[in-house]
């Protein structure tokens, strides 16, 4: 039992030393400085690669946490309940049909469907057989069903599609109620698939994209600096990118948390990664250190 205790204790000590070493490298890498980065010239690429994987894993977990906070089960379930409630208000006297590429309704006036979640209205659907979408008098719905086309609008982006001649459907109170039942039955598998994509696939794509950007930034840095530093190596530019881009990565996650729908975050992230890779490489070659300082 004592031998087992000491073995476990030694494992804990080694693990703590590894964690301390990673934290030390992290603090030295966070801001490119000439007292640390020249040492990378005598540091193996494999060490930097393992370190980069550990930091990238932490950032991906942070990114997944931000995604989970923005799209928590409470929010998704709340929207589902709001949609179910909205569908329950479908007028029983209304009948809408789409057949032979044309929408027809037994009502002359348009039908509006709003979803209210946390007292916030969301204009989801407008159905009008006259195909008149007057945006000057009414807010723009997410989905507009006109006489011969459907239009999806989101943040000034619009996609319109003509009805297929083979598409045939009739919307009544009964069919909408059946749709509500189907949504309830499919919500659990939908939630599983949604969070698998949100917390696994998207962070994985984020990690791959960031890694490709660092590879590209290292290559551009190598091309730009080889005139001034003849003995420069691409793998050292890559190491500089692995160690020196912590701030851009944290800024990217921070910006996404504050502005999840902003379209220019990727451009900002790409520019910052390139700048920090360039600066880190310059700091790396700013002075030489003896080869016996290898880790």
- Asked if 164 and 193 sit in the same domain, the reply is no
The domain boundary residue, chosen from 171, 201, 236: 171
Tokens, residue 284: 């790396």
Q: Ranked by mean pLDDT, which of 18-27, 73-82, 214-223, 259-268 comes out on top?
A: 214-223
- Asked if 267 and 190 sit in the same domain, the reply is yes
Given this model, what pLDDT does residue 290 score? 44
Lowest mean pLDDT among 39-48, 109-118, 169-178: 109-118
- Asked if 190 and 163 sit in the same domain, the reply is no
- Asked if 202 and 286 sit in the same domain, the reply is yes
Given this model, what pLDDT does residue 206 score? 93
CA distances from 231 to 146, 225, 234, 238, 285 (A): 66, 10, 10, 15, 10
Average pLDDT of the chain, as a whole number: 83
Tell me how many domains the chain contains: 2
Q: Do the domain assignments include residue 144?
A: yes
The boundaries of the domain holding residue 123 are 95-171
Q: Do the domain assignments include residue 26?
A: no
Strands (E) located in the chain: 96-99, 102-105, 111-117, 120-127, 143-145, 149-154, 157-162, 169-171
Given the structure tokens 């931000």, which residue do they identify?
66
Q: Do the domain assignments include residue 234?
A: yes
Q: Tell me the pTM.
A: 0.76
DSSP H helix total and E strand total for the chain: 8, 8
Given this model, what pLDDT does residue 264 score? 85
- Asked if 241 and 198 sit in the same domain, the reply is yes
Q: How confident is the model at residue 92 (pLDDT cuts 50, 70, 90)?
A: confident
Given this model, what pLDDT does residue 195 score? 95
Which of these, 263, 267, 265, lies nearest to 155 by C-alpha position? Answer: 263
Rounded distance between C-alpha atoms, residue 114 and residue 74, angstroms: 20
- Asked if 215 and 278 sit in the same domain, the reply is yes
Q: How confident is the model at residue 293 (pLDDT cuts 50, 70, 90)?
A: very low
Which of these, 246, 250, 255, lies nearest to 279 by C-alpha position? Answer: 246
State yes or no: pLDDT of 101 exceeds 50: yes
């Amino acid at each position: 039992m004592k031998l087992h205790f000491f073995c476990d204790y030694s494992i804990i000590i080694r693990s703590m030393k590894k964690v301390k070493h990673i934290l030390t490298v992290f603090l030295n890498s966070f801001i490119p400085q000439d007292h640390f980065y020249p040492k990378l010239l005598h540091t193996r690429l494999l060490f930097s690669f393992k370190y980069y994987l550990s930091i990238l894993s932490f950032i991906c977990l942070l990114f997944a946490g931000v995604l989970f906070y923005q799209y928590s089960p409470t929010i998704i379930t709340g929207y589902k309940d709001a949609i179910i409630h909205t569908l329950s208000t479908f007028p029983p006297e209304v009948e809408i049909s789409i057949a032979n590429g044309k929408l027809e309704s037994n009502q002359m006036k348009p039908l509006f469907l709003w979803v209210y979640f946390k007292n916030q209205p969301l204009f989801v659907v407008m159905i009008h057989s006259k195909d008149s979408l007057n945006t000057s008098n009414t807010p723009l719905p997410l989905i507009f069903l006109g006489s011969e086309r459907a239009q999806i609008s989101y943040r000034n982006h619009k996609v319109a599609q003509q009805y297929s001649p083979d598409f045939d459907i009739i919307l009544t109170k009964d069919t909408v109620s059946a749709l509500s039942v189907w949504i309830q039955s499919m919500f659990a598998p939908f939630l599983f698939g949604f969070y698998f994509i949100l917390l696994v696939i998207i962070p994985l794509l984020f990690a791959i994209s960031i890694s490709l950007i660092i590879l590209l930034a290292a290559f551009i840095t190598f091309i730009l600096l080889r005139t001034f530093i003849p003995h420069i190596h691409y793998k050292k530019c890559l190491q500089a990118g692995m160690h020196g881009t912590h701030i851009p990565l944290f800024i990217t996650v921070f910006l996404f948390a504050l502005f999840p729908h902003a379209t220019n975050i990727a451009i900002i992230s790409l520019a910052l990664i390139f700048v920090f890779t360039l600066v880190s490489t310059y700091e790396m070659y700013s002075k030489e250190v003896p080869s016996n300082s290898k880790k």
